């Protein structure tokens, strides 16, 4: 097995791993959404520091109880400002584990899965092209 074949095999394996990870993220998100409730949350304050950034939000659950939650953003700047409203999903039994409904949170599993599939196909395409050339060469001779 030459160096190019090893590289393509590694690319296919990497693509499959990313595809499987995307599938896991999608599965986990679908289960979370299926077992959670939805509420409108309001940003109480935004805390920016050198080590981490966070949003402090509050929302009311279906029983009209108010919950205060800290959403950590690591070193990224939080996408909301004080007073802004957005939708959160929260488990009924653990409202402190609320998640923001956003494009990336909703589609990250599909994006990872699609990228993994593209990488896998990119690593597999040269293999199929080479086999096709070999089959044509056998038919000609």
The domain limits of the chain are: 3-124
What percent of the chain is helix, strand and coil (3-state, nearest 5)?
50, 25, 20
> How many beta carbons lie within 10 A of that of residue 100, not counting itself?
18
Residue at token pair 């950034």: 53
Element (H, E) at 86: strand 85-91
Bridge partners, 66 (sequence order): 60
Residues 86, 40 contacting (CB under 8 angstroms): yes
Amino acid 134: pLDDT: 87
Question: Phi/psi zone of residue 3: left (φ > 0), alpha (ψ -120 to 50 degrees), beta?
Answer: alpha
CA gap 120, 125 in Å, rounded:
9
DSSP state of 45: E
Amino acid 141: pLDDT: 67
Tens-binned pLDDT, residue by residue, of the chain (141 aa): 788 889 999 999 999 999 999 999 999 999 999 999 999 899 888 887 777 788 888 888 888 888 888 888 777 777 888 888 989 999 988 888 888 888 888 899 999 999 999 999 999 999 888 888 888 888 876
């Amino acid at each position: 097995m030459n160096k190019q074949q090893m590289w393509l095999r590694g690319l296919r394996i990497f693509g499959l791993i990313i595809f499987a990870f995307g599938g896991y993220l999608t599965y986990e998100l679908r289960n979370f959404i299926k077992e959670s409730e939805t509420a409108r949350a309001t940003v109480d304050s935004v805390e920016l520091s050198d080590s981490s950034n966070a949003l402090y939000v509050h929302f009311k659950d279906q029983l009209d109880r108010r919950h205060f939650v800290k959403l950590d953003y690591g070193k990224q700047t939080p996408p909301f400002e004080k007073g802004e409203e957005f939708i959160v999903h929260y488990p009924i039994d653990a409202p402190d584990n609320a998640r923001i409904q956003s494009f990336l949170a909703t589609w990250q599993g599909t994006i990872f899965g699609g990228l993994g599939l593209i990488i896998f196909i990119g690593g597999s395409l040269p293999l199929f092209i080479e086999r096709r050339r070999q089959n044509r060469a056998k038919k000609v001779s």
